[in-house]
Structure 1
Amino acid sequence: MKHEREEIMRITARYVEEAQEGRSPSLSAYLARYPQYREELLDFISYYQAFEAPLPMNTSLASLSEVSREALERAYTSQAQESALSTQDVAVRSLFESRQQQPVTPRQLADVLELSEDIVQLLERRTLLPESIPATLSQCLAGVLGYSPAAIEAFFASREPSNTSSRSRLKVAEPRGPYGENQESLTFAQVVAASTHLSPERKAAWLERLS
């Protein structure tokens, strides 16, 4: 199993390298070359290509196998390191706007991140303890929005009101939900556990990852 995992990591790394060099690697060619890893490669390549396209909001982490998620995390970490010079001065103003200034809705982010809209709104308002937000979530946001993971983490760490439209914010008169008033002292794990809008399946999956 360890040998297979390392082999998949090597294959997916090669695919990412070819894609970044503009060689347009062929999915069918990879499947024909490595039929024994068909399911894992389909998972990885389909998801990676979706994240490379504008507004890749039609896939979710839950649909991926463990090895595919690990391969994606490695790919995005590698990309972030290689593109650090070009992205280090680009500040994230809002999670609801991509680097290409394309709007992203709370529902779209919730579906991609396997969260609920109320938690996405808390992330947007930067009311959670930034050190409690898992790196994998920042990496996924970076892939969706076109920023580096470091830029996403800096956004959370700033904990200042973000420049979003009033439509993207929760109105003052709206109920605050199960989190109470002092949301700035809450961790990501606490809001996941307390959310009444997150489905039981998504909640269990996130709590397992965070444990």
Structure 2
Amino acid sequence: MNTPELKQLKMAWIAAKESGDTQAQIRILQEYPAYQDELIDFIAGYQATGGTEAIDQTASLLPLTRRALNSALERVFEPQTAFATLAELRKSRNLNKVETARGLRLSVDVWNKFESGAIELVSLSQRQLEKLAQFFQVSIEQFSNALGGSQPALTMNRRQTREAASQAQQGPKKQSFAEAIARSTMSREDQQFWLD
């Protein structure tokens, strides 16, 4: 915890370091044993970053250092895979539709409506979007974009009349999330989980 007293001790230590007063540096550590661990960590960090030495911003990294940096970044930050639809997002997480529906406490028919683009984005509350995005470990914006990119697959029955065929090409009827839940086979408990 960086208390005001600890900040003052850090500034006093830096002043003593810059003036070359090693006795004052040691005295700060000895006179404040309660802050000794924090001060030691601060001093180690100060020395590790070069202290008062100027850092050459134009110096190039050695190839070995660059590979080590890239390797460390890859371990810390998971590479984000691009996905345009909810089906692609689900597949990027190695989930099938049943696992996804179960994990989200939805029925498979409701999840199918999400993937087919039948659920209207505007019908989802902020809290519902947060739950959906959190399940997939993506941002709300990424989930919303994937939902917007999910469009119905158009199929045509050759035996249909022209009028019926043109209606079929319009895709599934859009509905709100609440309507989809009301018409689903979900338990009352799961319905309340999403509607509360």
TM over 0.5: no
Larger radius of gyration: 2
The TM-score normalised by the length of structure 2 is 0.43
The TM-score normalised by the length of structure 1 is 0.40
